[in-house]
């Protein structure tokens, strides 16, 4: 995996999925000096995106949180780096618009699609699977289910100075 350039003074915004307030699959990775919102906190997320310089924003979301983040970027909220971890969500998303509003979009897909609780929940929620393939700057399959993709993907990230 090629190194992902971090902006100067990166401002991390994490967007948790539907069950993250209970499972903390994404939330456990958030440091005290970073921002965390739940997938349904659209107004709070918009305010953060408006109040932080776009060139500093690293936006990371899992499941419904990834869909929420991607939809806002597609609507014109600029970010430096968008990382989507196995996005899930219903409704149209203008995936082709996302790359014009971010310097880099990295999408991870949970490649282990065996029938288990996490994967069944993702399927019921509108699992994107390969939808970002033609639009993300990088689309990476991870041998993990929908829940385990978070920790496996985040441990694979290699950061570099911008």
Annotated domain spans of the chain: 4-161
Asked if pLDDT for residue 162 goes beyond 60, the answer is no
- Taking only the tens place, the pLDDT of each residue in 63-115 is 999 999 999 999 999 999 999 999 999 887 899 999 999 999 999 999 998 99
pLDDT single digits (tens) 118-149: 999 899 999 999 999 999 999 999 999 999 99
- pLDDT for residue 159 is more than 80: no
Maximum Cα interatomic distance, the chain, rounded to a whole number of Å: 42
Q: Cα(2)–Cα(25) distance, rounded to whole angstroms?
A: 24
Can you give the pLDDT at residue 93?
Answer: 87
Question: Residue 1: what pLDDT?
Answer: 66
pLDDT at site 102? 96
b vs e for 88-101, b when ≥16 Cβ sit within 10 Å of the residue's Cβ? bbeeebebeebbeb
For residue 84, give the nearest of 135, 49, 50 by alpha carbon. 135
Mean pLDDT of 3-15: 90
What's the pTM value of the predicted model, to 2 decimals? 0.95
Reading the block at residue 35, the tokens are 């921002």
Flag whether pLDDT at 160 surpasses 70. no
**In CATH, what class is 4-161?**
alpha beta
Task: Give the pLDDT score at 157.
Answer: 86
């Amino acid at each position: 995996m090629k190194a992902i350039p971090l902006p100067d003074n990166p401002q991390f915004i994490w967007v948790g999925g539907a069950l993250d307030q209970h499972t903390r699959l994404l939330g456990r990775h958030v440091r005290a000096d970073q921002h965390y919102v739940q997938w349904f906190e659209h107004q709070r997320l918009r305010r953060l995106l408006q109040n932080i310089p776009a060139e500093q924003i690293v936006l990371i979301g899992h499941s419904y949180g990834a869909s929420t983040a991607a939809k806002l970027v597609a609507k014109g909220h600029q970010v430096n780096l968008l990382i989507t971890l196995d996005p899930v969500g219903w409704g149209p998303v203008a995936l082709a618009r996302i790359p014009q509003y971010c310097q880099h979009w990295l999408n991870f897909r949970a490649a282990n699609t065996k029938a288990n609780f996490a994967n069944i929940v993702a399927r019921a929620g509108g699992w994107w699977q390969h939808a970002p393939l033609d639009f993300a700057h990088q689309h990476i399959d991870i041998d993990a289910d929908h829940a385990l993709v978070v920790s496996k993907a985040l441990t694979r990230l290699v950061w570099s100075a911008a």
